[in-house]
Amino acid sequence: MATVTFDHATRVYPGTERPAVDALNLHIEDGEFLVLVGPSGCGKSTSLRMLAGLEDVNAGRILIGDRDVTDVQPKDRDIAMVFQNYALYPHMTVADNMGFALKIAGTPKAEIRQRVEEAAKILDLTEYLDRKPKALSGGQRQRVAMGRAIVRQPQVFLMDEPLSNLDAKLRVQTRTQIASLQRRLGVTTVYVTHDQTEALTMGDRIAVLKDGLLQQVGTPREMYDTPANVFVAGFIGSPAMNIGTFPVLDGYANLGRSRVPLSREVLGQLTEDDKNHITLGFRPESVDVVPAGTPDAVPVIVNIVEELGSDAFVYGSLTNEFGGAAQVHSGAGDAQVIVRVDPRQVPGKGETVAIKIRPGEQHLFHAGSGERLA
């Protein structure tokens, strides 16, 4: 097994000025499961393809272990890749698909069969070894693609959105299988996805990218509890965080008729760029529904309620009395907030509920730069 290091790795596509990946610095430990996540076009797949040798590195370097592989051919990097579209040979059996790379490498037939059978046992594919891919479900085909990578016994697994083609239920089932399989095998794994739920549930650590730039690296808990900036705060978490920019008056963030107290330490960190404003975020579960008329409570008009059995989420609009604070936005859109409520006491559509952010559960950011306030 091996570590992986991106050392100021940069990729600029011909005909473009802005790098697709801009000076990426990232170290992945031996045996770690690292998830690269971000919106479409952020550079996550390009980073993976640079590591695989499928994209040129225009500046910086990439190391696998202590070996600089920046200019090494893909076949000589000792990596195995799992693609989004399975990429199986339709005329070959499952066993032949899984062992094909070993056959090309000249591995003895007995050893190929042994490795294929071991991988099939791990992936619960033993009874399908003589079938063709067309006789398999989507989840089984994806497991065959995983098996083809496992038999290689590489130093590093690379996975490029391998669950995108699966239905929702199968995606949940397969992601737990991949995560547990990686921990059993202990192979360093770099996994690309745009689904932040996959990132939170699968990765030992998460790296968030935006516009080719690394925004933050950390454990799922660190990402959720202490996002480094407004982008990470809004991207990580489902439902999304509610975020708004508000004026600071007399030591409070002024949310229309409501106020959130700010500590001296926070007030002391505000700069000229912030223009006496602060960006405040709060997660749907970080608020309490309180009686109408409670001081500093925020009134929300209920538009829709999502009932999920164990949870219920109110998607609501801010009332006019909320004033300039209507600049708040969330995953539900502008001037909308998402609030988790008691699933056994769900408000009706059109009702107004009063909410209050729990002390210490708000997230504070510079209004100018969007960076987190300590």
Q: Which two tokens stand for residue 58?
A: 């225009």
Predicted confidence at residue 224, as pLDDT, reads 95
Residue 229, Cβ neighbours under 10 Å: how many? 19
Predicted confidence at residue 333, as pLDDT, reads 64
**What is the model's pTM?**
0.89
- H helix or E strand, kind and range, residue 221: helix 220-225
Domain 239-366 has CATH 2.40.50.140: yes
Distance CA 139, CA 165 (A): 9
Q: Alpha helix locations (H) across 91-137?
A: 94-104, 109-122
Average pLDDT across each block of 10 residues of the chain; the chain has 374 residues. List them in order: 93 94 96 95 95 96 96 93 88 94 92 93 91 91 90 92 83 86 92 92 95 96 95 92 90 82 92 93 93 85 91 84 57 77 91 89 94 90
Predicted confidence at residue 231, as pLDDT, reads 95
Residues 6+ apart with CB under 8 A from 97: 88, 89, 133, 144, 148
Sequential DSSP letters for 148-186? HHHHT--SEEEEESTTTTS-HHHHHHHHHHHHHHHHHHT
**What's the length of the chain?**
374
Nearest to 33 by CA among 157, 146, 171: 157
DSSP 229: B
Q: Which neighbouring-strand residues pair with 316?
A: 302, 337
SS3 label, residue 123: coil
Predicted confidence at residue 295, as pLDDT, reads 85
Domain ranges for the chain: 4-229, 239-366
CATH superfamily of this structure's domain 4-229: P-loop containing nucleotide triphosphate hydrolases (3.40.50.300)
Predicted confidence at residue 298, as pLDDT, reads 84
Predicted confidence at residue 299, as pLDDT, reads 85
Nearest to 338 by CA among 362, 355, 351: 355
Predicted confidence at residue 285, as pLDDT, reads 94
- H helix or E strand, kind and range, residue 198: helix 196-202
